Amino acid sequence: MKGDDCMGKPKRLLSKEKLEEMQKQFLDLVLEALEQGDIETAKYWVKRHRPQQHWFFDSYLHACTSLATYIQKHMGEEAALEAMVQACEYFAEGAANLRKMVTEAYGGGDEGVKAYVECIADLWRQHYGKWTVEEDDEKFIFTQDPCGSGGRMIDMGAYEGPFGYGRTKNPSPIAWGEKDVPFYCLHCAICNEIIPILRGGDGSQIWIHATPCAKKAGDKCVHYIYKDPSKIPDEYYERFGLTKNRKKMMDVY
């Protein structure tokens, strides 16, 4: 007999069923288990999913912040700000029309507003933070304590010490007109407010950053969603060098 025959068939490490299982998404495995009434297996996949998802999420947080910090140190702050704007461009079209698309899909009016607030809550459900939602006569108030990305990085000390990530050194309209803004948090001003205003017009902000962002450990991020976006106060445009009902483009754009 030849060597392979003497040794028998080579051993397989994983069964066909296991290989097929490995080709499925976490949530598909959860749903499959629930449909079979197997609660313990569903719990297993939910618990296995969270640390894996968190690892990938945090990898991107630190990668983009590290890159912006490098650009600031070696090419200057203006180049770092321009890089952040360019990095956010992919987000532009969807961001500019998100509120309009959601509210119109639900017929506008109160139903459209409720649907949009639910949509935003869905976004935060994937963000690993802790938040409360309140409502007053004119708006909904989301309080992030902490924000699951930028706020959590600040809480973990990622911007502290000689090897900490960068912050803006000068006041800039891209940073709510403030300085000392953590680089990761800059994308919130650009993606959630500036680009939607410039592309979609007044009232297209995804939400308003009221605080506007966390700067030290323990700070909360407070976001407003106005029921009537036409009633967003002027101050939330002016801090970007903008005014309502016109298109004064900033130099960086």
Tell me what pLDDT residue 252 has. Answer: 41
Whole-number Å distance between alpha carbons of 79 and 87: 12
Sheet holding 139-144, edge to edge: 131-135, 139-144, 221-226, 208-209
Give yes or no for a contact between 146 and 221, defined as CB atoms under 8 angstroms apart.
yes
Task: Sort 66 into a burial class: Cβ within 10 Å, 0-12 / 13-18 / 19+.
Answer: middle
CA separation for the pair 219, 248 (Å, rounded): 32
pLDDT of residue 248: 46
Question: Model confidence at 253, in pLDDT bands (50, 70, 90)?
Answer: very low
Statement: residue 141 has pLDDT above 90:
yes
Task: Report, as an integer, the average pLDDT of 10-22.
Answer: 91
Give the global pTM. Answer: 0.85
Band the pLDDT of 249: cuts 50, 70, 90.
Answer: very low
The full set of domain ranges for the chain reads 77-238
In angstroms, the CA 38 to CA 6 distance is 43
pLDDT 10s digits, 40-51: 999 999 999 888
Mean pLDDT for the chain overall: 90
Statement: residue 103 has pLDDT above 60: yes
One-letter amino acid identity for 143? Answer: T
**Per-residue confidence (pLDDT) for residue 245, from 0 to 100:** 76
